[in-house]
């Protein structure tokens, strides 16, 4: 396939570069976000350091913080042995900065670089990760937090980011080389055997009794769904996927799917000399992800219940009865009963699909369509009914927008950018297509996306 560049493309590119040079300073002054191989200690000191891929020489990569409305400027430099790109997950940015290789930009070759420059309109907790061979590059350690601070931040004593990940390690603490295994792609995804918080297997903090913390939880794992709760802390869920709740909700059992985020406000309730914990439930066991050692007392009594965070200016869906409605059916995977699906224009049986590295389908298609699944006018509201006909859970992520789940009775849930659907579950989401461009809609169990669970919409 050949491509051409018309005069409008050239002028648009020249205008963008002029704006970067004229309004935002010389390119040499833009901070560099480099990606490259290295070693990082994930396991205890009795094991060797793990060979990983890193942003900025660490796992997680450097925390990027800006105030709401500020600009994020990073020159991505690729020192990896593969092409890569950077997706800024959850941020409603201009399409050219979304970082999807093959759609919004070309993948950055080894030794080359790419300038990301965009405004951050919404306060909240976000993150960044590769969007080329994500199933491998994410599992090798490429991710980092992107925090957009409120103009009027909540009253907390400290603001702490906790990035949850799992790793598939060998007995000598090296990454297992089973990247791209069809069993992972057709089952739950690549699940690890070693869990870290901020790159450490033993995560520990120190706090004072009645100290109020903001804990920003980010699940960056390829496929693991975390089931969490708090021990000896009083907590409230204040935001989901970066978007504030109308009112903070008491924290009970919390499910955090791949790519999702939870902002917690917690008061440390353990006594001086004791410990509080962020706990994880798996099968019939409960274990500590992060321990907080209590040393001293911040105040005699806990602060009053937290107030809501200031809302972001997201578009309103309006009257659901008059909104266009579409359906997305998920099929396939192990034990899913899918006999075949369309791939590259023709129907292929399941055996042939697996030979092509595909195991899942959206609406009977197992490949990324050349044409958009949906074409929406700018500011058009839409409802999407999603039906999971598979034997596995899926975390569906929409780029460039935030949606709300349509609840029984027609009420709308909190704004999110990633929704978890359990096996055989149905859900409906609604959003306003206010951000022009071509946007992915895919499962964020990233092996599932690579194996067929990926489509896209166009906002004209």
1 within domain boundaries = no
Q: Looking at the structure, do residues 127 and 39 belong to the same domain, yes or no? A: yes
Other beta carbons less than 10 A from residue 50's beta carbon? 23
For every residue of 395-434, DSSP letters joined together read EEEETT--EEEE-GGG-EEEEESEEEE-TT-EEEEEEEE-
Task: State yes or no: pLDDT of 170 exceeds 60.
Answer: yes
Nearest to 459 by CA among 379, 369, 370, 362: 379
Tell me the average pLDDT across 77-94: 98
For residues 163 and 220, the answer to whether their CB atoms sit within 8 Å is yes
| Average confidence (pLDDT) over 224-228 | 98
3-class state of residue 15 by DSSP: helix
Q: How confident is the model over 31-41, as pLDDT tens digits?
A: 999 999 999 99
User: How many Å apart are CA 402 and CA 441, to the nearest integer?
Assistant: 12
Look at the alpha carbons of 68, 405, 448, 347 in this order and tell me if their dihedral is positive or negative.
negative
Q: Are 180 and 125 members of one domain? A: no
CB neighbour burial string for 97-107, b if at least 16 within 10 angstroms, e if fewer: bbbbbebbbeb
- Phi and psi of 434, rounded to 5°? -95, -5
pLDDT grade, residue 16 (50/70/90)? very low
Report pTM. 0.93
**Structural domain tally of the chain?**
3
Q: How far is CA 336 from CA 34, 274, 333, 343, 350, in A?
A: 41, 48, 5, 18, 11
Out of 149, 182, 211, pick the residue that ends a domain.
Answer: 149
Query: Does residue 200 belong to any structural domain of this protein?
Result: yes
Mean pLDDT over residues 422-434, rounded? 97
Tell me the mean pLDDT in the region 361-371: 96
pLDDT tens-digit readout, 297-311: 999 999 999 999 999
Residue 198 shares a structural domain with residue 291: yes
Give 88-129 as a DSSP string.
Answer: EET----GGGS--BTTTBPPBPTT-EEEEEEE--S-EEEEEE
Residue 27: per-residue pLDDT: 57
What is the structure's pLDDT at 3? Answer: 38
pLDDT band at 2 (very low <50, low <70, confident <90, very high): very low
Q: Which range marks the domain in which residue 436 is found?
A: 320-459
Pairing state between β 275-282 and 285-297: antiparallel
Q: How far apart are CA 393 and CA 321, in angstroms?
A: 29
Q: Is 235 inside a domain boundary? A: yes
Do 330 and 403 fall into the same domain? yes
Q: How far is CA 180 from CA 29, 327, 358, in A?
A: 38, 29, 11
pLDDT confidence band for 337 (50 / 70 / 90): confident
Give the pLDDT of residue 1: 37
Report if residue 332 sits inside a domain. yes
Look at residue 5 and tell me whether its pLDDT is greater than 50. no
On the question of a cis peptide bond just before residue 60, with omega within 30 degrees of 0, the verdict is yes
Q: What is the mean pLDDT of residues 413-439?
A: 98
Tell me the sheet residues that pair with 244: 239
CA distances (Å), origin 304, targets 150, 235, 299, 301, 307: 20, 12, 12, 9, 9
Same domain, 164 and 143: no
Identify the bridge partners of residue 456 per DSSP, sorted by sequence position.
440
pLDDT of 238 higher than 70: yes
Average pLDDT of the residues in 318-338: 94
Coil, strand or helix: which one is 28? helix
Clarify whether residues 188 and 139 are in a common domain: no
Residue 354 pLDDT > 90, yes or no? yes
Integer-rounded Cα Rg, in Å, for the chain is 22
Give the whole-angstrom CA distance, residue 69 versus residue 148.
8
Tell me: do 135 and 171 sit in the same domain.
no
What pLDDT is attached to residue 14?
Answer: 38
Helix-strand-coil percent breakdown of the chain, rounded to 5? 10, 45, 45
Is residue 304 one of the residues assigned to a domain?
no
Final residue before a domain boundary, out of 98, 132, 149: 149
367: in domain: yes
**Using one digit for the tens of pLDDT, what is the confidence trace for 270-287?**
999 999 999 999 988 999
Cα separation, 43 vs 41, in Å, equals 6
Domain identity same for 278 and 175: yes
CB contact at 8 A, 98 and 399: yes
Residue 25 has pLDDT above 70, yes or no: no
Q: Is the pLDDT of residue 7 over 70?
A: no
310 domain-assigned: no
Percentage of the chain exceeding pLDDT 90? 92
Does the structure show a pLDDT above 60 at 24? no
| Residue 12: φ, ψ to 5° | -60, -45
What's the average model confidence in pLDDT over 318-346? 94
177 shares a domain with 277: yes
Instruction: Return the SS3 of 86.
Output: strand
Q: What pLDDT, on a 0 to 100 scale, did the predictor assign at position 216?
A: 98
Q: In this structure, is residue 45 part of a structural domain?
A: yes
Residues 144 and 62 in one domain: yes
| Residue 193, pLDDT above cutoff 90 | yes
CATH number for the domain that contains residue 246: 2.60.40.420
pLDDT at res. 436: 98
**pLDDT tens-digit map of 378-412:** 999 999 999 999 999 999 999 999 999 999 999 99
Separation of alpha carbons 375 and 95, rounded Å: 15
Residues 188 and 144 in one domain: no
Residue 18 has pLDDT above 90, yes or no: no
| Mean of pLDDT over the chain | 93
Q: Which of 297, 312, 328 is the last residue of a domain?
A: 297
**Within this chain, do residues 36 and 163 fall inside the same structural domain, yes or no?**
no
Q: How confident is the model at residue 26 (pLDDT cuts 50, 70, 90)?
A: low
- Residue 416's nearest CA partner among 95, 124, 118 is 124
């Amino acid at each position: 396939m050949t491509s051409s560049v018309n005069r409008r493309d050239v002028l648009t590119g020249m205008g963008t570069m002029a704006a970067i040079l004229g309004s935002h300073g010389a390119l040499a002054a833009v901070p560099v976000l480099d990606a490259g191989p290295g070693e990082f200690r994930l396991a205890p000191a009795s094991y060797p350091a793990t060979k990983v891929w890193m942003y900025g020489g660490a796992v997680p990569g450097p925390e990027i913080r800006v105030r709401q409305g500020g600009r994020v400027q990073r020159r991505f430099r690729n020192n990896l042995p593969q092409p890569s790109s950077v997706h800024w997950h959850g941020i409603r940015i201009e399409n050219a900065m979304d970082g999807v290789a093959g759609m919004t930009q070309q993948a950055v070759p080894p030794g080359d670089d790419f300038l990301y420059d965009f405004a951050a309109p919404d306060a909240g907790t976000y993150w960044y990760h590769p969007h080329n061979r994500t199933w491998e590059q994410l599992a090798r350690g490429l991710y980092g937090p992107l925090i957009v601070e409120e103009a009027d931040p909540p009253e907390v004593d400290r603001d702490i980011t906790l990035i949850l990940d799992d790793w598939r390690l060998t007995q000598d603490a090296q990454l297992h080389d089973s990247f791209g295994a069809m069993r992972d792609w057709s089952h739950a995804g690549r699940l690890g055997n070693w869990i870290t918080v901020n790159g450490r297997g033993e995560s520990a903090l120190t706090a004072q009794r009645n100290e109020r913390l903001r804990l920003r939880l980010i699940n960056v794992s390829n496929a693991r769904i975390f089931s969490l709760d708090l021990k000896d802390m009083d907590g409230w869920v204040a935001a989901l996927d970066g978007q504030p709740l109308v009112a903070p909700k008491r924290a009970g059992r919390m499910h955090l799917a791949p790519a999702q985020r939870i902002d917690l406000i917690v008061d440390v309730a353990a006594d001086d000399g004791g410990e509080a914990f962020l706990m994880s439930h798996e099968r019939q066991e409960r274990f500590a992800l992060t321990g907080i050692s209590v040393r001293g007392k911040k105040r005699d009594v806990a602060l009053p219940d937290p107030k809501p965070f200031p809302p972001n200016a997201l578009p309103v869906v309006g009257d659901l009865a008059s909104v266009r409605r579409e359906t997305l059916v998920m099929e396939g995977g192990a034990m899913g009963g899918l006999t075949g699906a369309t791939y590259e224009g023709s129907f292929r049986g399941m055996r042939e699909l697996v030979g092509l590295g595909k195991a899942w389908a959206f609406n009977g298609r197992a490949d990324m369509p050349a044409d958009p699944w949906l074409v929406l006018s700018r500011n058009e509201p839409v409802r999407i009914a999603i039906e999971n006909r598979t034997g596995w859970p899926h975390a569906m992520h929409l780029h460039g927008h935030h949606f709300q789940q349509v609840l029984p009775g027609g009420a709308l849930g909190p704004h999110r950018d990633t929704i978890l659907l359990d096996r055989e579950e149905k859900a409906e989401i609604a959003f306003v297509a206010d951000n022009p461009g071509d946007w992915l809609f895919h499962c964020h169990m990233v092996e599932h996306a690579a194996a067929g669970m990926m489509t896209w919409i166009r906002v004209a």
